[in-house]
């Protein structure tokens, strides 16, 4: 598996990142262990989890599964969402981050976290409080690098400027949703990350599973799939519009032309986009992992890339269209 720089840091990560959100939820511990072992055997060295995945069980399974292999892995986790019923058990405050990092270190059975990410923008906490706390964690050796997830472009730009102004550790990465279904980061976030040298680690690169071809137009979502088994169907149904089905059809045609699976085509498109570091895989079985691993090591030709690009075209709106017109 190809290695890529994690933004402007001095470390390199595999071009695919193994997401552990399924650990302890769709995948039991033995299956999770087998998935992690196979990912490492394939050349992967980048694993991502979060303190809220399976109420902390994901981190516990990940920590036990890594064991003596810990030093060879770039390990990422996140903090921000509720970890308890109390009013201060949520957010990016100094208190919640401090308690969160200690709990994650215990569950992961490690002395440090390579990439500690703020899981989502927190409008209630002053940005200076969040970034200064993360800076302290880096200087204490509990965290090596810090990143953001689910930030708007102005959030991220303000955070970078605040860190630069005070000499604090800057965010080195962004973990956004990105796929052929959801391309919104192309408006501002992706250009910002390219300009500032941030790694981009897309979550849900298969559009919540719809790009795998498992879902059919005018049919119920099948059981045994993330969409069919979800308690929050809105996270899938908002994607199932005419545009989404047009994209599914285009992916299926490219898959037939290339002899690849639909999932491999969709993942390859994301992995090869300019500015993308490592799409995050979310798998519940070894079969799914094997299919995803075969998404790299090759490239779509220009005709196929263009077919997918235009099938998934989306309205950029003002001022982007105006700026493009003015710069013609």
Sort strands 280-281 and 17-19 into parallel, antiparallel or unpaired: parallel
Give the three-class secondary structure for 48: strand
Catalytic residue among 53, 116, 145, 178: 53
**Helix, strand, coil share (%) of the chain residues, nearest 5:** 45, 15, 40
Residues with Cβ within 8 Å of 324's Cβ and at least 6 positions away in sequence, in order, are none
The pair of structure tokens assigned to 276 is: 């993308």
CA distances 91 to 52, 136, 276, 287, Å, are 12, 17, 27, 36
Residue 307 CA, chain-centre distance (Å), reads 25
Task: Respond yes or no: is residue 116 known to be catalytic.
Answer: no
Task: Select from 121, 168, 169, 165 the least CA-distant residue to 145.
Answer: 169
Tell me the HSE value of 174 on the side-chain side, using a 13 A CA sphere. Answer: 28
Q: Are 108 and 53 in contact, with CB atoms under 8 Å apart?
A: no
- Give the CA radius of gyration of the chain: 19
* Token duo for residue 109: 């059975």
Contact 39, 79 (CB under 8 A): no
Distance CA 265, CA 299 (A): 9
Distance between CA atoms of residues 197 and 191, nearest Å: 10
Residue from 32, 86, 75 nearest 57 by CA: 32
Enzyme catalytic residues: 53
């Amino acid at each position: 598996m190809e290695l890529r720089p994690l933004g402007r840091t001095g470390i390199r990560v595999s071009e695919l990142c193994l997401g552990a959100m399924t650990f302890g939820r769709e995948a039991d511990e033995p299956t999770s262990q087998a998935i992690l072992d196979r990912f490492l055997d394939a050349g992967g060295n980048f694993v991502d989890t979060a303190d809220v995945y399976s109420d902390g069980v994901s981190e516990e399974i990940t920590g036990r599964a890594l064991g003596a292999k810990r030093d060879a892995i770039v390990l990422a986790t996140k903090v921000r969402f509720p970890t308890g019923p109390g009013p201060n058990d949520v957010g990016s405050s100094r208190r919640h981050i401090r308690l969160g990092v200690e709990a994650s270190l215990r569950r992961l059975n490690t002395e440090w976290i390579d990439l500690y990410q703020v899981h989502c923008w927190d409008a209630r906490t002053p940005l200076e409080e969040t970034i200064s706390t993360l800076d302290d964690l880096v200087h204490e050796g509990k965290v090596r690098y810090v990143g953001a997830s689910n930030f708007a472009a102005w959030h991220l730009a303000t955070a970078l400027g605040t860190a630069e102004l005070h000499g604090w550790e800057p965010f080195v990465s962004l973990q956004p949703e990105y796929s052929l279904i959801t391309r919104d980061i192309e408006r501002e976030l992706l250009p910002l990350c390219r300009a500032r040298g941030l790694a981009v680690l897309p979550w849900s690169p298969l559009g919540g599973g719809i790009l795998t071809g498992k879902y059919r137009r005018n049919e119920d979502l099948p059981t045994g799939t993330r969409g069919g088994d979800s308690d929050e169907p809105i996270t899938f149904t908002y994607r199932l519009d005419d545009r989404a089905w047009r994209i599914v059809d285009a992916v299926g045609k490219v898959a037939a032309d290339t002899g690849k699976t639909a999932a491999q085509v969709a993942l390859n498109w994301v992995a090869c986009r300019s500015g993308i570091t490592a799409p995050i895989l979310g798998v519940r079985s070894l079969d799914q992992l094997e299919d995803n691993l075969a998404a790299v090591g090759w490239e779509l030709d220009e005709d196929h890339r263009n077919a997918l690009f235009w099938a998934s075209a989306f309205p950029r709106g003002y001022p982007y269209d105006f700026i493009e017109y003015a710069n013609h």
